[in-house]
Amino acid sequence: MAPWGDDAHAGTFEQPFATLTRARDAVRPLIAVGLTQPVTVLIRGGTYRITNPIVFGLEDSGSEPHSITYAAYPLEAPAFSGGRRIEGWTPDAGGTWSAILPEVAAGLWSFRELFADGVRRPRARHPNTGFVRVANVEPGERMRFTFYEGDLPEQTDLTGAELVFLHDWDISRIAIDAVDYTQNVLATSDPIGAAAPIFAVDFFEAHPRYYVENDIALLDEPGEWFLNEQTGKLTYFPMPAEDVNSAELIAPVAGELLVLRGDFESEQFISNVHFVGLSFEHCAWDLPPGGYAAYQAGFYEWRDTSTPYEFPAAITFEQADACRFDDGRIAHVGGWGIMFGRACRNCALVGTAVSDIAGNGVLVGEDQYRNVPGGQWWLLRPDQAATGNAVRNNLIEHCGEVFHGCVGVWAGLANTTDISHNLIRHAPQTGVSVGGMWNDTPTPCFQNSVSRNHIHDVMLMLSDGAGIYTLGLQPGTVFGENLIHSIPPNAGSAESNGVFCDEGSTSLLIDGNAIFSVKRSPLRFHRAGVNVVSNNTLLLSHASVPPVRYNVTDPADIVMTNNEIATPSAPVDCEHAVYGVTPLAGLEPEYRERLIGPPTNDGCASCAGVPYSGLSLDACGVCGGTGISCGIPTVSQWGMLVLFLLLQIAAIVVFTSLRRRNHHRFTDARHHEGNVAVARHRQKRQ
């Protein structure tokens, strides 16, 4: 298929199809008569515009020896876009430009995202950066608060604008009903926060943060835009030197892009369908009726029972077996990125860039709240849990761009999940979250592995999360050999950590991780059970910071063995400090440069004048030392290469020896050892 094709064609190189739907339909007769060999559909480079999701079902299944693959033509980059290019711009006074969209005025189209040449543009907001704080709120009040003089633009009618309110670890997005500038009172159309008492306006702190967006009066900075849904007028303030007539400004139309789903009723799986080298971008999701009030990781309060609870992903796999999404790209979406949901088993996301996602980047499994006849699914039908899925060697960044409480990778009540070798960075909240139960009740969540990931610059906006966050009983689950760093101090009431084991977290093995440049405790346990913490390197930001924070947790239940804990004399700014501790963390070599581009663009701070080289898996790549400061002088590129090779050889010899003595091999035996240690300690405590 090709952008210049025709669905009336034969689907050959000379006469390609135009749409993936037509190509899918051409494969179905081959499947129906019985496949005798694998089938590949080659997709030429270019952009394919879609307005509805492309859906694959049981009739599209391959088999283990004869799979179905939809792949990019060699050396070409096909992209499927659920967006529409905005054209017909006219200049306004004051430097803005406008376009009239009749479909919006007619109520046929609405959108919350706008992208200019591949960059998300912010809706008009105040303040333009950062936040303002609530002045005062009456006890129990959820729909009004007072603001400080000057915090909102004077005498601006903000009726219908959107309040973005930050709770400790999640947010609310609620329509503004009115602003009284004589009393400095802001009133909302619906309650702020989910119904639980902890989401009261002033529960976490007396003066919480907020900002306001989506009003024409707030359109005062280049890059901002506003859509008047009554008139259909889109107003945009271009960036300096940006030409709106030549720039590609895209607004989303489609709500989902790609769906693979077996049959829930018969419980038959779609299987062995693969997507290779494809990009999916631009899709929309609007707020639910009554506003968006999330309680954790983007799972929000369902306020209107007449509307189905949903937070769609751009790409959804459900009731799927042995299906894959490889070497692709998922970007610029208004909901979640990609989800391996109900009854997914043995599916994988590999070598893919997941970037600029409004909500969660990658999801595996479900939360606890779906019902089946007789009660909740995890109690009555645990066989429907996502099982054996993998998220490996992916770049996952800039998730939670709109729904700031969302995370990079979320795994709920799922088991035997492999989350490994990912680079996860630049997130307002947690990097990886595993578990979905707030106590130690047994669930289908067990034997997951979060290993050898490089997680940095997360928890950038909210609090009470971590590089890795856990909930609930998870027997056999291992968090091993991850590199976690660059987590700022919490902005809200509860601290942010390297690894945070929250309520019910029990039977975990936390082994061989390196955590540094975390302003609070590297490890925290809250209402947790018996867990094993071994062979970790914890570099503290300050001597007054405890390496482990125990919140309503008996320290005797946390089995600490063979951990290296140090307080550096100076701040640690790059991975040199832990070089060799986690030498396999992050993207593996074959994926690294393809996903992050030239190594110097990776975002790692330079160390002693030597920029990040990308040659090492976990570090700046030129220092073989384990000291806090590498002290490498600036050298030429050839000198750096020679130095690196010599140090790398030495490092391999030295650290292979050290690891043989001091670290477990990362095999299934470690799962068994962790379980035995936990069981023995529990027996001793009893």
Average pLDDT over residues 211-227: 97
DSSP β-ladder status, 395-397 and 390-392: unpaired
3-state DSSP of 482-546: CEEEEECCCCCCCCCEEEEECCCCEEEEEECCEEEEECCCCEEEECCCCEEEECCEEECCCCCCC
Per the CB < 8 A criterion, the answer to whether 415 and 378 are in contact is no
Reported as a pLDDT band with limits 50, 70 and 90, residue 684 is very low
Please state the domain extents for the chain. 83-124+219-250, 125-218, 285-686
Reported as a pLDDT band with limits 50, 70 and 90, residue 652 is very low
**pLDDT exceeds cutoff 60 at 673:** no
d(CA 210, CA 172): 9
For 544, residues 6+ apart whose C-beta sits below 8 A from its C-beta are none
Residue found by looking up tokens 């999330």 in the block: 294
Token representation of residue 360: 């969660």
Reported as a pLDDT band with limits 50, 70 and 90, residue 311 is confident
Reported as a pLDDT band with limits 50, 70 and 90, residue 442 is very high
Q: Please report the beta strands in 341-408, taking only residues with DSSP state E, as ranges in sequence order.
A: 348-350, 353-357, 362-364, 371-372, 375-376, 390-392, 395-397
d(CA 214, CA 162): 6
Reported as a pLDDT band with limits 50, 70 and 90, residue 683 is very low
Average pLDDT over residues 29-52: 97
DSSP β-ladder status, 523-526 and 497-501: parallel
Beta pairing partners, 209: 133
Within 10 angstroms of residue 572's Cβ, the number of other Cβ atoms is 21
Average pLDDT over residues 241-256: 97
Specify burial of residue 88 (Cβ count, 10 A radius: 0-12, 13-18, 19+): exposed
For 483, residues 6+ apart whose C-beta sits below 8 A from its C-beta are 453, 454, 455, 456, 513, 514, 575, 578, 582, 585, 586, 618
Beta pairing partners, 235: 98, 226
Token representation of residue 540: 């503290």
Within 10 angstroms of residue 94's Cβ, the number of other Cβ atoms is 8
d(CA 330, CA 349): 11
**pLDDT exceeds cutoff 70 at 670:** no
Token representation of residue 165: 């309110």
User: Which region, left, alpha or beta, applies to residue 106 given φ > 0 means left and ψ of -120 to 50 means alpha?
Assistant: alpha
Mean pLDDT of the chain: 88
Q: What share of the chain is helix, strand, coil (3-state, %, to 5)?
A: 15, 35, 50
- Say which CATH architecture domain 125-218 belongs to: Beta Barrel (2.40)
- Among 211, 148, 210, residue whose Cα is nearest residue 184: 148
Reported as a pLDDT band with limits 50, 70 and 90, residue 472 is very high
Token representation of residue 390: 């993998």
**pLDDT exceeds cutoff 70 at 560:** yes
The pLDDT value given to residue 599:
52
d(CA 593, CA 356): 19
pLDDT in tens, 318-343: 999 999 999 999 999 999 999 999 99
Distances (CA, A) of 317 to 56, 396, 443: 10, 18, 22
Of the two residues 664 and 19, the one the predictor is more confident about is 19
- Among 22, 27, 26, residue whose Cα is nearest residue 2: 22
Average pLDDT over residues 394-421: 98
Cα-Cα-Cα-Cα dihedral sign, residues 238, 239, 241, 242: negative
H/E stretch holding 632 = none
- Among 469, 472, 473, residue whose Cα is nearest residue 450: 469
- Among 81, 101, 98, 80, residue whose Cα is nearest residue 89: 98
Of the two residues 634 and 373, the one the predictor is more confident about is 373
Specify burial of residue 276 (Cβ count, 10 A radius: 0-12, 13-18, 19+): middle
**pLDDT exceeds cutoff 90 at 620:** no
Token representation of residue 427: 């997130």
Of the two residues 641 and 356, the one the predictor is more confident about is 356
Residue found by looking up tokens 């034997």 in the block: 447
**pLDDT exceeds cutoff 70 at 521:** yes
The pLDDT value given to residue 576:
56
Specify burial of residue 312 (Cβ count, 10 A radius: 0-12, 13-18, 19+): buried
d(CA 475, CA 532): 11
Beta pairing partners, 316: 259, 339
